[in-house]
Amino acid sequence: MPYPIAKLAYGLRCRLAELAIPFERYNLQIAAGDVSICPSKRQLLRKRQHYSLDFVCENGNVSVSKRAIPNNTPFVYTENCFFECTDGIALYNFDLPDLTSETMGHFLLRPHKVGLHHCNISKPFLEVLSKTSYTHVTHFYIHNQNHRCIISLADIITAFPRIRYLVLSEGYLTDNWLTDLLPLQNSSLEVLRIYVNSDQFKKVKKEQLLTFLKAQRQGFSLAIKILGSGKHLKFYFLFLNEFLNRKLNKFETNPPPPMKYTRIAITYRDVLSAWFLPVYTSYGLSRK
């Protein structure tokens, strides 16, 4: 049974406030419904910092900078400062323990955009990150050269259910990423852009690809860029191209089809091919 925090002895509350980092003190005040719960160190929140922040981890130490052109500027704060971030954040070289570092305890993360760069992404990593920001994130970007981790798109969307725009510009996906996403067809996702290596793309079955597209809400956009080439991939892409030509409408010229159409675009060897589903396909009808 939970113990009412406000009933703790005054001395214990003072000691608790001294031991807590700003994020923890703020949560204690929210839980108690009274800032006086931490009498010796009331935690004030500096709201709505309208700029993007970059968090960089090097050798276990996390530094923070404001994103700016042409160069970022260091973000300076004192021991008891606590800031709300409502724009965008980017994490570089983060592992799971870095998400709860002392530096991160100075920030209340409520960003609309999140970027992960060369992080060790896992389901626990996403779950911890989402606990402070999942209700606000609509745009999610991943650029990952960390070959140790396999990225699950389904885990990302489960952890951040309000994502509308998801981009994976570099990284290794689970082999079954298409079928893993099918149970999440009612998610908020509107745009999915991924870069995949040629070996992984060959594992995509054309029937599963078509089923996935038909399961999405009308207006969904899928863009795939294939990295690398090879004789076997060339033949596979020819078969896939012919299959999609039969099942979907191929788009040949600019401008692109109206946003109401569900669409797929595949870039292979710097050549873009695009198709879109007829509107009636969204109602369970398919082309012969």
| Domain residue spans of the chain | 1-43, 45-189, 216-288
Provide, rounded to the nearest whole percent, the portion of the chain with pLDDT above 90. 35
**What letter does residue 276 receive in the DSSP assignment?**
E
- Check residue 23 and give its pLDDT: 56
> For residue 212, is pLDDT > 70?
yes
Question: What is the three-class DSSP state of 152?
Answer: coil
- Check residue 160 and give its pLDDT: 93
Instruction: Please report how many Cα atoms fall inside a 13 Å half-sphere around the Cα of residue 108, on the Cβ side.
Output: 20
Name the residue with tokens 């070289």: 93
Question: What is the three-class DSSP state of 90?
Answer: strand
Q: If we measure between CA atoms, which residue out of 223, 216, 164 comes closest to residue 194?
A: 223
- Check residue 7 and give its pLDDT: 66
Tokens of 70: 């042409």
- Check residue 34 and give its pLDDT: 58
Across the range 165-174, mean pLDDT stands at 88
- Check residue 57 and give its pLDDT: 94
Q: Are 81 and 22 in contact (CB under 8 A)?
A: yes
Provide the strand spans (E) within the chain. 46-49, 53-58, 61-66, 73-74, 83-85, 88-92, 107-109, 113-117, 139-143, 165-170, 191-197, 221-227, 249-251, 263-268, 271-276
pLDDT, tens digit (0-9, with 9 covering 90-100), for 16-68: 655 565 556 666 666 655 555 555 555 455 555 567 889 999 988 999 898 87
- Check residue 113 and give its pLDDT: 93
Across the range 242-266, mean pLDDT stands at 81
pLDDT, tens digit (0-9, with 9 covering 90-100), for 79-95: 677 777 888 999 999 99
